[in-house]
Amino acid sequence: MQQKTSELLDVFDIADLGFFYLIAKKNIKFLLITSLLVSMIVFFISLNIEKRYLSEATIVIAPDENKIVNINEAYSTIQNTSRINNLIATLKSDEVIDYIVNDKKNQLEFQSLYSKQDINTLARIFKKKIIIDKNYVKSILTNNFNVKNIRNSDVLVLSFVSNNPKISQLALNNIISSYQRYEVDSKIEITSYANNKVKERLKELKIQMAIADKNLAQYKKDQDLVDTGNVKELKIKEIESISNNILISNQEKQKHENDLTAAKNANGDMDILLAIKDLNERKEISNINDNLSSNENNIQSLLLIYTNEHPKVKQAYELQESLKNQLKKLVEEIIERKAFELSNIKSSIEASKKNLEKAKNELRDTEEKEAGMLNFTREVESSRKLYETFLQRQKETNEAQNLQISKLSIIEKPILPENPFSPKPRQNFIIALLSSFVAFYILIFYREMNSTVIKTPEALDHLSIPQIGILPKVHDIKKGYHILQNFLEDGESNFSEAIRSSRAIVEAKFKKNKSYLVTSSNPSEGKTSYAFNLALSLEKNNKVLFIEADIRRPSVLNSFYKFDKEIFGLGEIISSNSSLKETIFTVPGTKLEIITSGAKRFDMSDIVSRDQIKKFFDVLKQEYDYLIIDSPPVQPVSDTLILTQASDYNLFIIRSDSSRTLAFMSSIKKIQNVGAKIDGIIINDLDTSKDSYYNYNYNYNYSSSYYNKT
C-alpha cells in the first residue's frame, strides 16, 4: 500500500494538467451524473432537516472598581482572562438559567412559541412528542446557549440557536436580564451577609474593649502606678550622672596612682620628684624653685668678690639650705596629701558603684512594670481601633446595600434572525457537488493508475518526451523466423519498416559515437527485441556494438545464437575475469558485434559505480558509432538506475495494452531522481488495424519528417 501511494505521488510530479484533464474527459459523464445525484440527495435532506436560527448579542461586563489592578502586564492579562472565564461560567450557570425557568411568565412565553412551531415531515415521523415543561426549557437554554469572548477585550458575544427565530431572541433577552438580576441579588446577598458579620464582630469587640480597660486599671492598682514615664527618665539621668562621676573618679585615681608610683621610684631624689608634672606645676613649689635659682645666682656673684668664709657668702649658703629643706618638706606634704586623696577617691568610686547598681535595679523594675502596663494599653488601643474600623465598615455596607446596580452593558441587543443559518440547501448542494466530483475523480484516478494500461500514443501526449518509434503488433511470424532478428529475416514486414522509421529518427535527432540505453518498466515489454533490431538496422551503414546489460537473467542472445567457443560477457568484464576482446562476438551474417551478459549473476551496483561504467562506455564509443545497451527493467532491479546515469541517451519501451500507466510514471520518476532523463519513447505491439492509429500515424510520420529536418 505504501509503495502504491508513493507511485501515485510520483504521477503528480511527472504529469502535467493535460494528463489529469484526459482522465476527467474520459470519465466526465460518470463524474457529472454521480456528483449531481449525490448533490440532489444532499439538497433533499437539507430541505427536510430542521431549520436552525441563530440570534446574537454583544455585551460588556465591567470589572469591579474597588479591585486592585496589578501594574505587571502579564499578570494583569492572566487576571483579566480568569475574570472573563468566571463571567462566562456565571452566564451559563444553573443559577442564571433558574431565574428564567422559575418565572411563570417566561415559561408561558416559551410554551406559546413552541406550540406554534411548524414541524416538518421527517420530524413528525421520527421525533417523539415534546412536553414543554420547566425541565425541557432548562435543557434547551443550557444546550443551545454559547458565549464567546473577543480576544484582548472585555466584550462577550452571546449566541443562541433554536428552530424558532423568536425563541432564539427571547432566550437571549431572558439570559441577559436574568444575569443582571442574579448579579444584583448576589451583591445584595453578599453585603447583607457582610453586614451581619460586622454587627456580630462589633458586639465581640465591645466586650473585648471592656475587658481590656478593666485589666489595665487592675494592673495599675496592683503595681501602684499612675504614669511611669517621668520616673523612668529620672532613673536614666541618675544612672548617666553616676556613670560620669565614676569615670572622672577613675581618671583622678589613675593620675594619683601614677604620681605616687613615680615618687616612690624617685627614692627621695628631688630632681626626679620635681619632674613629676603635678608637682612641677604647683605654684608654691614653683616659687621656691625660683628663689633657689635666684639665690644660686647670688652665691655665684658673691664668690667672685668674697671667699666662702665671708659672712655674706655664709648667709647665702644658709638661705640656700633653708630653701631646699622647705622644698623637700613641701614635696613630702603634697605626696602624703595625694596618698590621702587616692584613698578618698577609691572610697568614692566604691560608693558610686553601689549607687549605680541600685539605680539600675530600680530602672529594671520600673521597665518591667511599664512593659506590663504597655501590654494592657496596647490591647486597649487595638480593641478600640478594631471597633472603629468595623463601625466604619458597617456604615459602608449599609450604603452599598442601597446602591447595588448591574455592571453589564449591552452593546448590541439580541437580533431576530430572518433566515436560518442551518441548513443551507444551496450551499450544501454546491459543496456536495464539488466535493463529490473531487472524491469520485480521486477514486477514478486511483483506479486508472492501478488498472489502466497504455493503449495508444495519445495517452503519452501530455509528456514532454518525444516518441521515436511505433512498433506494430506482429500477428504471424514466418516459419523459421524469430522476432529477435525480424529486421534481418523479414525486411519487407511492417515491423521492419517501423524499425527503419525509428532508426531514421535516432540518426536525425541524436549524435554518433554515443551510447543508447533501451529499458522498460517491467520484463516482457519488448525492449530486447527493439534494441537488437535497431542495432541490426544501424549496422548497415555504421559500426555498432550491442551490449546485453541484463546480467541477472540468462542471456537471451547466448541461447539464440550458437557460438563456437565459451561465451564470456559483461559480467566477466565487471568482475575482471575476462578482457574486452574475449567478450566481443559478431552476429553471424552481419557486421554487428555484441557483448552478452555472460555467465556471472550478481548485483551490478555492488561491484561497479556510475563513473566506472561511464568510463567503460567512453572507451567503446571511440571505436563504435553506436553503442546499443539492452538494460534490465527499471522496477525489479536497481542496475538500470546506474546505467541510465552512464549512458548518453535513454530510450523507454512501452507495450501497448500491457504496460500499466502507474508503473510507467513511477519508472520515469525513479530515473529523474538519479539525475538522468528519458530521451525517447517507443510504443511496442500497437494494433495498427484500429482507425485511431492511422489518424495518429499521419501525425507521427509528420513528426518523423520534422526530426529528419532537424
Which domain CATH number covers 648? 3.40.50.300
Is the per-residue pLDDT at 30 higher than 80? yes
**Is there a contact between 303 and 313 (Cβ–Cβ < 8 Å)?**
yes
Q: Tell whether 687 is covered by a domain.
A: yes
Exposure letters 356-390 (e unless 16+ CB within 10 A, then b): beebeebbeebeebbebbeebeebbeebeebbeeb
The residue ranking higher by pLDDT, 164 or 393, is: 164
For residue 490, give the 3-state DSSP assignment. coil
Is the per-residue pLDDT at 253 higher than 80? yes
Report the phi/psi class of residue 515: left, alpha or beta, with left for phi > 0 and alpha for psi in -120 to 50. Answer: beta
What share of the chain has pLDDT > 70, as a percent?
76
CB atoms within 10 A of CB 89: 10
Model confidence over 587-601: pLDDT tens digits? Answer: 888 899 998 887 766
Q: Tell whether 395 is covered by a domain.
A: no
**What pLDDT is stored for residue 146 in this prediction?**
92
The residue ranking higher by pLDDT, 333 or 15, is: 333
Interhelix angle 691-709/494-509, rounded to 10 degrees, is 30
Q: Tell whether 703 is covered by a domain.
A: yes
**What pLDDT is stored for residue 80 in this prediction?**
73
CA 311/CA 301 separation, integer angstroms: 14
For residue 518, give the 3-state DSSP assignment. strand
Band of pLDDT at residue 394, cut at 50, 70 and 90: low
Model confidence over 538-558: pLDDT tens digits? Answer: 998 999 999 988 877 755 555
The residue ranking higher by pLDDT, 267 or 613, is: 613
CA 426/CA 415 separation, integer angstroms: 24
Residues 6+ apart with CB under 8 A from 281: none
CA 378 to chain centre: 57
Alpha helices in 402-520 (DSSP H): 425-451, 486-489, 494-509
Q: Tell whether 21 is covered by a domain.
A: no
Q: Tell whether 674 is covered by a domain.
A: yes
**What pLDDT is stored for residue 509 in this prediction?**
92
Cell of 102: 422559575
Total domains present in the chain:
1
Residue 669 carries which side chain, given as an amino acid letter? K
**153-167, 235-249, 256-270: least confidently modelled range:** 256-270
Is the per-residue pLDDT at 70 higher than 80? no
Q: Tell whether 673 is covered by a domain.
A: yes
**What pLDDT is stored for residue 701 in this prediction?**
43
Cell of 468: 521515436
Band of pLDDT at residue 707, cut at 50, 70 and 90: very low
- Pairing mode, strands 544-548 and 408-412: unpaired
Average pLDDT, the chain: 78
Domain that holds residue 512: 469-475+483-553+597-709
Q: Tell whether 653 is covered by a domain.
A: yes
Is the per-residue pLDDT at 624 higher than 70? yes
Band of pLDDT at residue 390, cut at 50, 70 and 90: low
Q: Tell whether 496 is covered by a domain.
A: yes
